[in-house]
Structure 1
């Protein structure tokens, strides 16, 4: 049947792999999901997953190469709706042999799901940072300062992302601006928790996904991807520290 042609399946698997990589999945999950879906259509896979590219080869039941192609991955934009949705889809395929066209329709549906409203994201992230301030010993006034500074910093980061600014420069500027706002408020409104305010106001910039995936990839044996993700997380952490340091120098907080 036309829908079972290797090129149709190969392009589908590449699209799934790229979506998972760009949405924050680790390498082992990507490999397991692609293999699971390919097995449902009686094909075996050989592929290479790197930070920037996925190279896929499909082989039929006789071991003949039926499809080989590569596809570039997207920039990391965490979206666990897509990760969980593709996982459910793959297990649904194991139980119900869906046609490839139906799988494509579900993939397109997942891609078209709306994101949370921008204002909601800003509020929730700012509230999370202010909550960490409270957990670290800050008072309610300190929480308010953290809320305002993290809200402002994330807004700036989103604006720079829309303008396709270099992500590392974007993190540096967001860290600097957030620290500048929080430090400026503290400067005019005396507080005994300067360090707590400065640190918790930039928590939204911490590269948790790259660092966690780096560790899991290395433990799963995908050392190259793990090291690349670890370096990426380290550079982001350095950008955060540089922005914070610059703001601290301005306000002479040490």
Structure 2
């Protein structure tokens, strides 16, 4: 029985580790971990979460096992989150046991979209914002170019595992450096829209959403940590934008 409890504890910890690392909200992480443990026959499952680690305790027939795991940020990936949820549901319905659940968990890989598809869609979405805000097709084209190139820079820096704050700052600088050309050469009917719309890809939407969800559901420490990280990412983006506008001495967006 101790051997099974240790295996289940490792399964729960690994599931929670994957959920936290790929952007799941804290309430979902705690709920999934508890449900997996109960589905595997544990009497109690207690979970404690922090911004970079988790601690899980399982109780079975009076015997208690506690394990801790570090949770490095692996980037937002909802495919991983949904796959872990499916494993949890299959456990609850008795379709698989804890041994098969561990095997399935080990098989989960954070698949990514084709990088060129991501670049195209990011450029298109930012350009669409500019168009909806009243820009003409010249503004649309410049926004697409600036945001697409910026996304390529972001991907390259991320691929080399640089600090995310540095990544956002450099990406914002490059994107703004391209978009200010529309203002300098008076391209389009509202050139400042290019500067404003092309950096929208750097808005840390998921951390901000998770921050609100965590605060509302009682995970105050996690919410504060996510808010601080989102704020730092926003600050890095602002520094990159200001740096580019200082280099080209273009302040039209702020006037």
TM-score, normalisation: structure 1: 0.93
Q: Does 1:160 align with 2:168?
A: no
Q: Gapped runs of 5+ residues in structure 1? A: none
Instruction: Give every structure 1 segment of 4 or more consecutive aligned residues whose post-TM-superposition deviation is greater than 3 Å.
Output: none
1:102-139 CA-partner distances (Å, limit 9, x unpaired)? 1122223322x632111111111111111111111111
**Alpha carbons 1:21, 1:30 under 8 Å: kept:** yes
C-alpha separation in 1, matches of 2:82 and 2:137: 37
User: 1:36: which partner in 2?
Assistant: 35
C-alpha separation in 1, matches of 2:74 and 2:134: 33
Q: Gapped runs of 5+ residues in structure 2? A: none
Cα drift, residue 76 of structure 1: 4.2
User: 2:73: which partner in 1?
Assistant: 75
1:149-170 CA-partner distances (Å, limit 9, x unpaired)? 1111111111111222111011
User: 2:46: which partner in 1?
Assistant: 46
User: What's the secondary structure of 1:147's corresponding residue?
Assistant: helix
User: 2:135: which partner in 1?
Assistant: 138
C-alpha separation in 2, matches of 1:218 and 1:30: 15
Matched ranges for 1:98-109 at <5 A: 98-109=96-107
C-alpha separation in 2, matches of 1:162 and 1:206: 19
**Alpha carbons 1:40, 1:97 under 8 Å: kept:** no
Q: Does 1:57 align with 2:57?
A: yes
Cα drift, residue 187 of structure 1: 2.0
**Alpha carbons 1:183, 1:251 under 8 Å: kept:** no
**Alpha carbons 2:147, 2:175 under 8 Å: kept:** yes
User: What's the secondary structure of 2:125's corresponding residue?
Assistant: helix
